[in-house]
Each structure stands twice: as C-alpha cells, then as structure tokens.
Structure 1
Amino acid sequence: MNSDERTARGGLSLRAVPPNAITALALCFGLTGVRYAISATGTDPHTGDWERAIGAIIVAGVLDGIDGRVARLLKAESRFGAELDSLSDVIAFGVSPAIILYLWSLQQLPRFGWIFALALAVSCALRLARFNARIDIEDQPHKSAGFLTGIPAPAGAGLAFTPLYLWLVTENEWFREPFVVAPWAGLIAFLMISNVATYSWGSIRLRRHIRLEAILLAALIGTALFSDPWITLTAVSAAYLAAIPLSIRSYAKVKRARKLGVQPGQS
C-alpha cells in the first residue's frame, strides 16, 4: 500500500508526519506575519513589528523549500502533502503578504487599495490551482527543461515586499505611498499568473570553473541576510527581476532546439 492509498483510507504513515509538520509550520509562520502587521498598525513605525512580519514570511519561505525535499528523502510524498502544501502556500505567500501590504500602505486607499491586495492573494491562488490542475501544458515551459511558468509563490511574496524593504532601508515615506505600492503589487500579481518562463534550480547550469565561486557567493549572501537583511533582500529582488528576460531567452533557445530535435548544449 503506497502513501496515497494510506491517506485515502484515513491515515498517514509515520514517515509522512515530518514533511507535513514542516508545511503546517510554514503556514503558521505566514499567519504570524499578519499578527505582527496588526500589532504594528497605529504604533511607532520603528518598533520592529514590520521587520518581524517580513521575517515570518521569509521563514515560511525557507520551510516551504525544505518540506518537499524532506518528503522525497523519506519517500513520503503523498496527495495529502501536495494539497496541504498548496493551501499553506496560498495563505503564507498570497493572503498574508496581501494583508501585510494592505495594513502597511494600501489601506490609505480603502477601496482601490483592497482591490490590489486581493489581486495579489487571488493571483497566488490561481497560480497554484493552475499548477495542481496541470492546465496549459502546451503553453507553459516543460518541467523537464527545468523552467517554471510565472514566478513561484514564495518569490512573488518576497518581490511584493520590495517597497517595504526600501522603506526600512531609507525611512523614506515615498516608498509607503499607495500610488507606489499598488502598481507594484499589481505587477507581481500579473507575473505570478503569467506564462513567462522563469528559472528554477533545475534550469541553472554552472560551469565547472565557477562552482567554487558560486558557493562563495551563496555564503556571502547568507551572511549579508543576517548583517543587513533589507539591503540584501532589495538586491536579491532586483537580481531576480533582472534575470527574468534572461530566463525568457534561455527557454526560447531550449524550445527552438527541441523543435529541431537537438538537445540543448549540442551543436
């Protein structure tokens, strides 16, 4: 009896508990971000609660990157885990960031601000529904090529907070203006549900002579996240956005090569 059959009969195997517990923990951190945002509203903006709100979403993103790998390591992948993961992602990377941005800025435009917050949350849900239903197969980048369709939910949440990062770095209230935050939230919502090909870990190919440098860069970024997180996250967000045109071009090359029956990298 496989893990899906066990779930259908009303029970989870013991080895399925750790990855699903990590997923549930990610969901809790996502909602905790909302709790800190509520605490920050109407108080001194420099109490640290906005930082904690973002930090909770970042932790949720880290946990989201771990749960699937733990499930594969334990051979505990199941339909239950996939459904729980999607529900957790919608809340942690769709609903929670939308509420945080609304409480931080968009509530200054009560009706229209809420519409942009809704767009962010609903786009996250639509992206995950599309992924689960496996629709638009012909139009989306093929999984075997290592590309994603649109930006993933955790990345979307991180990018949506870019005005908040800049506000924390500069203390310039211009970045908090809803006329800045609303269009930005709308752009990220569009990118999440778009058919734009974006890089995934599987699509990144490092040449042998730069692999040590890549390890060093990853270590330095990790260190910078602890020493100066908001500047680092701003830089990472900018780099991710700058990589989107490159990913579109890379996938176009893969697509052309497949039409010609040539494997990428072959002449």
Structure 2
Amino acid sequence: MTVQQQRGLKRRGIYLLPNLLTTAGLFSGFYAIVASMNSDFHQAAVAIFVAMVFDGLDGRVARLTNTQSEFGAEYDSMADIVSFGVAPALVAYNWALYDLGKLGWLAAFIFVAGGALRLARFNAALGSADSNFFQGLAIPSAAAIVAGMVWVGARYEINPDNISWLVALVTIASGLLMVSNFKYHSFKDVDWRGKVNFVVILLIVLAFVVVATEPALVLFILFVAYAVSGPVFTIKNAGKLKLEDVIGDSKDDDADFKPEDKKE
C-alpha cells in the first residue's frame, strides 16, 4: 500500500471521541423512548436531559481537539432528531397525550416536524447566521420543556388525565416556537476562558444548589422562561411587529440581525 493510499484511508476514517459522545446522546434518547413504553416516565425524562449533556459536550470536544468533520456534523443532526425530536414527543404521548386520541398524536407529530424543520434550517444557515442568536427555539431547549413537564408530573405524581390538554398545548407550542423567527440568545458570546469576579463563582455554586434541591421543577421553569424570552426579546426590539418577525421568510438575514436595527 502506497503512502497516498494510507493517507486516503486516514481521511476516510471518523474521529472516535466526539462521535462516541454523540452516540451516547443517541442512546440516551432511545432509552427515553423505551422507558416511556415501560411507563417509567421519570427515567425517560431524565434520559433526555442526559442526552442534552452529551449533545453539549460532543461539539465542544470536537473543537477543542480539532476533530470537527462533516460526518460528525451530519451524525449529530440525525442523533438530535431522535433524542430531542422523536423521544420527547413519544414520552409526552405515552404519558398524557394517548387519551386525547387523534389530537394527541397530532400534537406529538407537530413537535417532531418542528424539530426536523428547525434542524434543517439551522444546518442550511450554518456559517451565515449570527452566532449570538438562534432563529427559533433550539431543539434541545424545546425537548427540555416537554421532558421537564413530564418529569415534574412524574415527580409530583400528577395525574396526566387531568392535564392532557395542557400537555398537548405545551407540546404544540414548543414545536411551533422551533420554526418561528423569534430570536433567542445563544450565549456563544460568553468568554468562558476569561476571568470573573469571585461573586460570580459564588452565584454559580448557589445556582447548582438551587437546581439540586428540586431539579425537575427548577429546570422546567428555567427552560420555560428561556422559551418565553424569545417572543419578548423580538417584540421588544421590533418596534412595529411584522409577520416576518414571527414566522416565514425573514427579510433580514440572521447575519445582519441587530436588536437596535429593529427599533423605530
């Protein structure tokens, strides 16, 4: 085998560590589906949040180790639609939407379709969009809302029959927010390597303590607040709200979006 052939084989290989983390996230999403089929909704909801941790790690590890690849990006998107699209929808359906009949599975499908469209739009705009803002609610955040709702219900033993309509409404709203044009802060402009005041570290420790006391309720509230922040931020900075600020093809490219430009 020649040197050129050996180099070609290396180029055709895939990086182990980031794709291993992606696989772990995919497994967590699949486990959530299986757990919900066995009526273990507490474990199902937790598994989706575990998938979020792996999803946050794989990209960062790839950048830190300089192991980014087109394969990894495509694999990550396919894993995301399972872990954060199909899994939360089926968990919610098995928990509370089943008794609603056709409306129940339609609500679940709207969430899955919204997640798929959100990922497709994100991948299509990759490289041209403003990295400081997301266009529409990110699919992991939408999954956290649905999974957090189920987690709270399972944690506090809420009868899903009493809130099935509310679950359907939240599931549909989360799916629609993903395909909206509302602007969400991505927090990618935060300098994680910079120095901070000691008080900031103390506040972070206190935040972990608060989350640890009631993780289901606190995480659910945090992600709901984040979902609400998109419409509030967009309406506040749009001045005169237009249809393209909410849904459809926006006249303003994401790369050129600035809150002050929308003020009149």
> What TM-score results when the alignment is normalised by the length of structure 1?
0.77
Instruction: Tell me which amino acid in the other structure corresponds to 1:23.
Output: T
Q: SS at the partner of 1:202?
A: coil
Instruction: Tell me which amino acid in the other structure corresponds to 2:186.
Output: S
Q: CA 1:24 to 1:162, structure 2 compared with 1: closer, same or farther past 3 Å? A: closer
**Deviation of the 1:176 alpha carbon:** 5.3
- Corresponding residue number in structure 1 for 2:12: 10
- Corresponding residue number in structure 1 for 2:87: 96
Q: Unaligned 5+ residue runs, structure 1?
A: 41-48, 261-267
8 Å CA contact retained: 2:41, 2:151: no
Instruction: Tell me which amino acid in the other structure corresponds to 1:118.
Output: F
Distance 1:166 1:259 in 2: 38
Distance 1:215 1:176 in 2: 42
**Deviation of the 1:21 alpha carbon:** 0.7
**Deviation of the 1:151 alpha carbon:** 1.0
Distance 2:161 2:189 in 1: 34
2:114 aligned residue (114, 123, 136): 123
**Deviation of the 1:187 alpha carbon:** 0.4
2:102 aligned residue (111, 125, 142): 111
CA RMSD of aligned residues (A): 3.2
Instruction: Tell me which amino acid in the other structure corresponds to 1:110.
Output: G
8 Å CA contact retained: 2:45, 2:148: no
Distance 1:209 1:190 in 2: 38
- Corresponding residue number in structure 2 for 1:201: 187
Query: How many residues were matched structurally?
Result: 238
Deviations 1:52-105 (A, max 9, x none): 111110010011001001000111111000000000100000000011000001
Work out which structure has the larger RCO, using CA pairs closer than 8 Å and 6 or more positions apart in sequence.
2
Distance 2:184 2:258 in 1: 14
Q: Unaligned 5+ residue runs, structure 2?
A: 1-6, 240-256
Instruction: Tell me which amino acid in the other structure corresponds to 2:95.
Output: W
Deviations 1:205-251 (A, max 9, x none): 99x99854443333333333333211212331243234324542686
> What TM-score results when the alignment is normalised by the length of structure 2?
0.78
8 Å CA contact retained: 1:148, 1:197: yes
Q: Which moved more, 1:163-172 or 1:106-115?
A: 163-172
Work out the percentage of aligned pairs sharing the same amino acid: 32
2:130 aligned residue (131, 137, 143): 143
